[in-house]
Chain A
Amino acid sequence: DVVMTQSPLSLPVTLGQPASISCRSSQSLVNSDGNTYLSWFQQRPGQSPRRLIYRVSNRDSGVPDRFSGSGSGTDFTLKISRVEAEDVGVYYCMQGTHWPPTFGQGTKVEIK
């Protein structure tokens, strides 16, 4: 199985400051169709996950533009330009290029 490794696992951030989460895969996530199926999900406390980003950098409808995704191959990043209180939660990267789909361990974002 493809191993997804996130860092850091805990991320204390000051309100209004930027935050960055890294996600590395054990294999390239470039699919035979040329697409890279790497998504980011946010899980607020007590809630179901919510997709933020798909195919590396495509932001979902309704997701604030302070969230952005980037990367290629095996190295990906989720950035929050200015953290707000509502961004507290756990963030997961996930690959769908290789079966089975696998998630990173999660990064817990909290306010300092």
Chain B
Amino acid sequence: EVQLVESGGGLVQPGGSLRLSCAASGITFSTSWMAWVRQAPGKGLEWVANINPDETTEYYVDSVKGRFTISRDNAKNSLFLQMSSLRVEDTAMYYCARDPEYAAIDIWGQGTMVTVSS
């Protein structure tokens, strides 16, 4: 069964850090572009970052550049998002996703909720 399972979300204070993980199964993870997409409560979808199969290329949306780092471990079929200097506006459900071509995401995880609040 094709599955992406996120973990690591939670409540964090402004300025804090959090590391999200995504475990992939049922896909050829090592040859897949992967991405993180977020959705603030009651709002629309926002692309966060993506990474190519061999970790040589990463892209970030401007609002997280310099604060978030996407990475992967192909041996463990895992995707990560290291988030630092978190802001209240980073509060959102974070989805792990497979990006088969030009952001046309074909597989989504169930999401992990990140709440930034004092």
Partners in one complex: yes
Binding site for B on A (CB under 8 A): 31, 35, 37, 39, 41, 48-51, 54-55, 60, 92, 94-97, 99-106
Given contacts A48-B110, A48-B111, contact A94 B103 (CB under 8 A): yes
Chain A CB within 8 A of B27 CB: no
DSSP majority for the B interface?
loop
B47 cross-chain contacts in A, Cβ below 8 A:
100-103
Q: How large is the interface on B (under 10, 10 to 19, 20 to 34, 35 or more residues)?
A: 10 to 19
Q: Are B59 and A48 in contact (CB under 8 A)?
A: no
> Which residues of chain B come closer than 8 Å to A97, judged between CB atoms?
102
Determine the chain A residues whose CB is within 8 A of the CB of B108 once the complex forms: 48-50
Q: Any chain A CB within 8 A of the CB of B109? A: yes
Instruction: From known contacts A48-B111, A100-B59, infer whether A92 and B45 are also in contact, taking CB-CB under 8 Å.
Output: yes
Question: Nearest A residue to B46 by beta-carbon distance?
Answer: A103
